Structure 1
Amino acid sequence: MRSDAVNGSGEDEGRAAPSRRKDARRNKATLLDAAAAVFVTSGVEAPVRDIAARAGVGVGTIYRHFPNRADLIIAVYRHQVDACAEAGPALLASAATPHAALRQWIDLFVDFLVTKHGLAAALHSDDAGFDALHAYFIDRLVPVCAELLTASADAGEIDSVIEAYELMRGVGNLCIGADHDPRYDARRLVGLLVTGLRRPR
């Protein structure tokens, strides 16, 4: 009986462990979403207490996950890249057409570029770290954009005349300065670019 009790306890703990890990990932994602939102409104030098308040946790929880600000900035950047990457397949599965999915994904990409407010500048203080993040950005997002372009071309909606990296670089260039110039609407210009990819009917 004692052996059964021990085994039963071990099984319970085994089942609980994945649940705890899932909760930990969800809690960390909540912190990163809160930090990203605060960075958008207040910049990457925003007080940690503001991030903690938005996430509904204590300041100590932030520091337990991210011992210094650079750790937090890097984690937010990677988290936002991951969210953008994961949106591509989901949009392709749910949008009316592949081109509609491409347009919606490019809108998300523009939001990421325009609202990251100082993330890239902050990371320039550590060239090696920034280089690693830039590589992560390219490795995660270019294949997603390529998948959307290929699906649009296969559906006969666009011609295969542009590479994913080329399109993303063009979109990035159109977004330069959009975060501090109220007279410039990067989203409208990018929308015209994506519309221009469509084959004439």
Structure 2
Amino acid sequence: MRADAQKNYSHLLEVAREVVAEHGADASMRDIARRAEVGLATLFRHFPTREALFEALLRINVDELIQQAAELEKSNQPDEALVTWFREGMGFVRSYNGICALFATAHADPDSALHASSNALRSAGARLLHRAQAEGTARADMDGVDLFALMSALGWLVDQPGFASRGDHLFHLITNAILTNPSSDVGKKAK
């Protein structure tokens, strides 16, 4: 990419990050272009769809979560690794209002710009889950899709005003339901 095109791309992402932080996943592409002081066509040239914009906005976070899963696989006990990653993943799905719906839709749509990221996250979590299952510390009747769904659902739920204060309690309930022999220390260590 040419230097001026890269500068425009970076500027658009910076502005999009601000607008999406304020308005969530429903932020208007027109508002992003207006605030970036470019035409809508320029925005669409860089990001042809809303999903393409979110894929670019979230790529760093997705890569970090995948890297963290790989590191946890090597360094932590399987149950601790799973709970730690689950908490980090919950933080990720809470990064922008409405992101859970985007990832839920992308999960079932191979043509979505977010499909590859959704699959990569789900696979990273599934590896941690399988490792814990092999050690007998996680339920055998769930898979990576279930884990991703629970993480997304809980991330969405604790963003709702009526449940925000119960976030830690709900997190412990869910992780205790995932683990076969949950110890109260595992969830607390993973904070």
TM-score tier by shorter-chain length is: 0.5 to 0.7
Alpha carbons of structure 1 residues 153 and 119: separation in structure 2 relative to 1, 3 Å: closer
Partner residue, 2:65: 84
In the alignment, the residues of structure 1 paired with residue 168 and residue 15 of structure 2 have an alpha-carbon distance, to the nearest angstrom, of: 24
Count matched residues.
Answer: 168
Q: Which moved more, 1:178-187 or 1:189-198?
A: 178-187
Map 1:36-185 onto structure 2 (within 5 A).
36=17, 39-41=20-22, 43=24, 44=27, 66=46, 70=50, 71-94=52-75, 96-119=76-99, 132-181=112-161, 183-184=163-164, 185=166
Structure 2 counterpart of 1:147, which letter? R
| 2: CA distance, partners of 1:118 / 1:198 | 32
Provide structure 2 residue ranges, at least 5 long, that are not aligned to the other structure.
1-5, 104-108, 184-191
- Identity among equivalent pairs (%): 22
1:99 Cα shift? Answer: 1.0
Query: 3-state SS of the aligned residue for 1:133?
Result: coil
Larger relative contact order (CA 8 Å, sep ≥ 6): 2
Amino acid at match of 1:150: H
- The reply to whether residue 190 of structure 1 matches residue 160 of structure 2 is no
Q: 1:183 to 1:153 in 2, by over 3 A?
A: closer
Q: 1:158 to 1:34 in 2, by over 3 A?
A: farther
Runs (5+) with no aligned partner, structure 1: 1-23, 53-58, 124-128
What TM-score does the superposition give when structure 1 sets the normalisation length?
A: 0.58
Question: Residue in 1 aligned with 2:3?
Answer: none
TM-score normalised to structure 2 length: 0.60
CA gap 1:68/1:171 in 2 versus in 1, 3 angstroms: closer
Alpha carbons of structure 1 residues 195 and 32: separation in structure 2 relative to 1, 3 Å: farther
Cα distance change on mapping 1:99 and 1:34 into 2, 3 Å: farther
CA distance in 2, matches of 1:122, 1:155: 33
Residue 193 of structure 1: SS of its match in structure 2?
helix
Q: Cα gap change, 1:45/1:162 in structure 2, threshold over 3 Å: closer, same or farther?
A: same
Query: What SS does the corresponding residue of 1:109 show, helix, strand or coil?
Result: helix
Question: For the aligned residues, what is the CA RMSD?
Answer: 4.4
Q: Give the structure 1 partner of residue 106 of structure 2.
A: none
Letter in 2 for 1:148: L
Q: 1:159 to 1:67 in 2, by over 3 A?
A: closer
Segment drifting more, 175-184 vs 159-168: 175-184
Q: Deviations over 1:55-75 (max 9, x none)?
A: xxxx9xxx7x94789454331
